[in-house]
């Protein structure tokens, strides 16, 4: 969890516009399994790409899961050319998505997000409904296995909200 906190705090320190997605978002919504890297959807504006680049360079980010001899220069052109990146950094793994399957880009993620306090910072968190959509759209077997629990959490939240609404109407 410490790596995740460091990654999200780093992005906040550099004032990057992002929404927390993936396993961290699932955990914040009540999912039971632990995640070991920070997944975020980031705004792809020129100003935000500059902030992302500064943050990544400050922790010596390198592409994760590719051979060392693979040519890659961490610069604005690379960030502009591709959407999604998996980085290994001095503070842990950090995965950046310019587009989230089943949801869309940063604007789409932001439009259905919640604010949450974690590790003394305020972050935007992808809504549970969109998190389920992205999990389903990924099609990866490991992701599809978590859908029943995420859907149960959503169902429980809806029941709780309906109950709270009925109580408020009676008052």
User: How would residue 154 be classed by pLDDT, with cut points 50, 70 and 90?
Assistant: confident
pLDDT at 139: 85
Q: Rounded distance, CA 137 to CA 146, Å?
A: 13
pLDDT at 18: 97
Closest CA to 24 of 12, 37, 13: 37
Classify burial at 82, counting beta carbons within 10 Å of its beta carbon; exposed 0-12, middle 13-18, buried 19 or more.
Answer: exposed
Structure tokens at 22: 């993936």
User: How would residue 160 be classed by pLDDT, with cut points 50, 70 and 90?
Assistant: low
pTM: 0.85
Structure tokens at 40: 């975020």
Check if the beta carbon of residue 95 is closer than 8 Å to that of residue 8: no
Structure tokens at 43: 């705004």
Check if the beta carbon of residue 51 is closer than 8 Å to that of residue 44: no
110 phi, psi to nearest 5 deg = -65, -35
């Amino acid at each position: 969890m410490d790596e995740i906190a460091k990654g999200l705090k780093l992005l906040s320190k550099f004032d990057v516009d992002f929404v927390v997605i993936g396993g961290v978002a699932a955990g914040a919504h009540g999912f039971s399994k632990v995640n070991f890297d920070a997944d975020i959807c980031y705004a792809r504006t020129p100003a935000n790409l500059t902030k992302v680049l500064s943050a990544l360079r400050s922790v010596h980010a390198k592409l994760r899961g590719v051979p060392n001899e693979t040519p890659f220069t961490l610069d604005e052109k690379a960030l502009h050319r591709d959407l999604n990146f998996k980085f290994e950094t001095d503070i842990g793994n950090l995965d950046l998505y310019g587009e989230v399957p089943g949801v869309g880009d940063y604007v789409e993620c932001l439009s259905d997000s919640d604010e949450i306090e974690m590790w003394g910072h305020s972050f935007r968190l992808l809504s549970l409904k969109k998190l389920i959509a992205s999990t389903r759209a990924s099609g990866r077997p490991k992701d599809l296995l978590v859908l029943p629990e995420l859907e149960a959490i959503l169902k429980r939240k809806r029941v709780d909200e309906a109950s709270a609404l009925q109580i408020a109407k009676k008052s």
